Amino acid sequence: MIKTLKVDDLQFEVRWSPRRQSLQLTVDRGGELIINAPEGCAPALLEGFVREKRFWLYTKLAEKDALRQPVSPKEFVSGEGFPYLGRSYRLLLVDDQDAPLKLERGRFKLRRDDEADGRRQFVTWYSDHARRWLPRRIDEFAPRIGVEPTGLDVRDLGFRWAPAATTAPSTSTGRRSCCRPASSSTSSCTSWPTSTSGTTRRSSGAGSNGRCPTTRRGSGGGRNMGWRSWGCSPKLARSRC
């Protein structure tokens, strides 16, 4: 089985899986292109899938290029903007206040004596406020997904948001999760499992683990494309994300 696939100017890594029953494209954080495919699919099927998704691929690659623009490091001077819960607040250096750093009246206020230690003050502030804010969000969403977290740990997770497992004693979340709006993402993917009923089930979206929310489109809402059109066997064509 092939490990790479080149379609025009696009180069893909092909990842085969005996358990997979659908084709999936992923545009990774660095712009790398990945095809996840079930074992037994012909290269012609992969190429056809890529050509069908070219507009989506070029759109996502353009978005990645825009996001990779160099970001200037933060300076702890009056007027610098710092994010919190999806909004940007400007910094104001003050001569005297009862805490090194505060968010007050729509502005971050940093004590001038702590300017040289500004990064540590912001890390501490974000971590403390995340520990107060996140438990309310956990209480809201835990019943929806059927879990009972027993603890919360705020730490630097790099590019990850908040890994969690039902078997773990606690949930870890990154400090950056309280800085960004919920729409931020790290990778994009699209999958196309075909069904034996002659209709297409398509999904597209974004997520750090490469999985997407799925929507169904029947004969009235999407392109009719049975498994015979793509050369898959009925076994491979059954839809199961």
Cβ(237)–Cβ(228) below 8 Å: no
Encoded tokens for 132: 């107060």
144-149 contacts, C-beta under 8 A, 24 or more apart = none
Tell me how crowded residue 22 is: count the other CB atoms within 10 A of its CB.
21
Report the percent of the chain where pLDDT is more than 70.
65
Q: Which of 127-149 are b and which e, b meaning 16 or more Cβ less than 10 Å from the residue's Cβ?
A: eebbeeebeeebeeeeeeeeeeb
pLDDT tens, the chain, 241 aa long: 889 999 999 999 999 999 998 999 998 877 889 999 999 899 999 999 999 999 999 999 988 887 777 778 899 999 999 999 989 999 999 999 999 999 999 999 999 999 999 999 999 999 999 888 888 888 898 899 888 888 888 877 766 666 655 554 455 555 555 555 444 434 555 555 433 233 333 333 333 333 333 333 333 333 333 333 333 333 333 323 2
Encoded tokens for 100: 């090194």
Q: What is the pLDDT of residues 97-121, one digit of tens each?
A: 999 999 999 999 999 999 999 999 9
Predicted local confidence at residue 224, as pLDDT: 32
Encoded tokens for 217: 């489109």
Question: Which residues, listed in sequence order, are joined to residue 152 by a DSSP beta bridge?
Answer: 171
**Ramachandran assignment for 217, one of left (phi > 0), alpha (psi -120 to 50 degrees), beta (any other):** beta
Q: DSSP assignment, residue 72?
A: P
Q: Which amino acid is at 222?
A: G
Predicted local confidence at residue 157, as pLDDT: 73
